[in-house]
Amino acid sequence: MSDPIQVAITVIVAHALAVASPGPDFAIVLRQAMTQGRGPALWTSLGIGLGIAIHVSYALFGIALVISQTPWLMRGIQLAGAAYLLWIAWHAIRAQPQTGDALGSGEQAHSAWRSLRIGFITNVLNPKATLFFLSLFTVIVGPGQPLWLQLGLGAWLCVMTAAWFAFVSCLFTAREPREWFLRRAHLIDRGMGVLLAVLAARLIWTALAG
């Protein structure tokens, strides 16, 4: 595939389908939206978008090809991602009913940084994202495409990923659903914890079976 327009359309469509499918990123944003509120969920979405920049960077520099041809390195990424998801799942499963008013301004600032970090690390250690970019930039885009196209697609993927999860954040923090979820926040947190634990178990199984 050498036509830049055809390459761009293929990448955009493939990314739209991939980003909308359930996975660790979606689960994290959903958990943040339901249990932490719109602000932390939006910061988490931004963190995921910044994580995409890491995938784009190593793909552009050819590291993706090295990863794809080094099974032990790929397994290491999968296990690291699984360990991080298990860490988040453990804290989520232990969630208790919350009482009192919203966090103060100082805590909100800390929550913003923490939420950004959660989104960033979750995406960087997300094997689904790693595998997607391995195939995208080594098979569809390829090193023969002009640099402006590769950089432009990289920027598009970062922005559109953050925008999609920002939309998800706003959707699940609308007033009425938000009030309903707040009364059941600890139960939702525990449910998300179980979901993340299942995702982590699947990653471990895939890594060890490979």
| CA 158 to mean position of chain CA atoms | 11
Measuring CA to CA, which residue among 61, 34, 17 is closest to residue 191? 34
DSSP 4: H
Evaluate if residue 6 carries a pLDDT over 90: no
pLDDT of residue 53: 92
Measuring CA to CA, which residue among 87, 114, 107 is closest to residue 196? 87
Evaluate if residue 163 carries a pLDDT over 80: yes
Evaluate if residue 92 carries a pLDDT over 50: yes
Q: Which residue did the predictor score with more confidence, 178 or 35? A: 35
Angle between helices 24-35 and 185-209 (to 10 degrees): 170
CA gap 198, 82 in Å, rounded: 10
Sole residue written with tokens 């139960």: 187
Give the global pTM: 0.68
Average pLDDT over residues 139-154: 75
